[in-house]
Amino acid sequence: MNILIHPTYFPSISHFVAIAKSDTVTFEVEDNFQKQTNRNRMYIYSPNGLQLLNIPVKHGSRPQQKFKDTRIEQAFDWRKQHFKSLEAAYRTSPFFEYFEDDIRPLFEKKHEFMMDLNFQAMEIVTSCLGMDFNYDKTAEYFHDVQEGLEDYRYLVNGKKDTAQFEPYTQVFEEKHNFLNNLSILDLLFNEGRYAMEYLKKQEL
């Protein structure tokens, strides 16, 4: 399977199910930025249940700006807030301490562009998973994908992503039950290297 997909901020499990099952991955990098999508957000399992972590972005002077040109808003200390939220959510998970040093550098670097941060997030996670991360990027935007590519760009919009996955053990499930299709970090911190095996077994 050859897929076309978006690079997002510590992507959802569904993103990684698609990538784990693919032969080749092409990332869409020529699209316009759209609000309310996972381009600049992820969902984690906090002590209070579902928590959204959103990266503030600068909106361009034109009504539409390409996502690759979208800059991160530096006026807010979101990096410290997001890492603290991850610690509160996953400090007691089986594998947080094991992967903590791999993930921390993303929150210590001041990226200018949102897409650059997303690619670093993907590189970190694929390394932690032991997954090969070879990919292509689009050279121009097409509404309809070329023949031979499976279009998974819809996964960037959480409302259109209705995948249901097998439950695995989560830190706060006794409080709030199993939460489906969170950021890949939830699976990684709870399942460690078994996460890759889990991804290959799931269906989209």
Which residue has tokens 């709870």? 190
Q: Is 145 exposed, middle or buried (0-12, 13-18, 19+ CB in 10 A)?
A: middle
pLDDT attached to residue 191: 98
pLDDT attached to residue 61: 61
Q: Which of 25, 10, 13, 11 is nearest to 138 (CA)?
A: 25
Q: Which of 32, 51, 40 is nearest to 11 (CA)?
A: 40
pLDDT less than 70: residues of the chain: 61-63
Q: Is-contact 44 86, C-beta < 8 A? A: yes
CA dihedral 108, 113, 118, 123 (to 10 degrees): -70
Full domain range(s) for residue 80: 2-201
pLDDT attached to residue 146: 83
Q: What's the distance, CA 143 to chain centroid? A: 22
How many domains is the chain built from?
A: 1
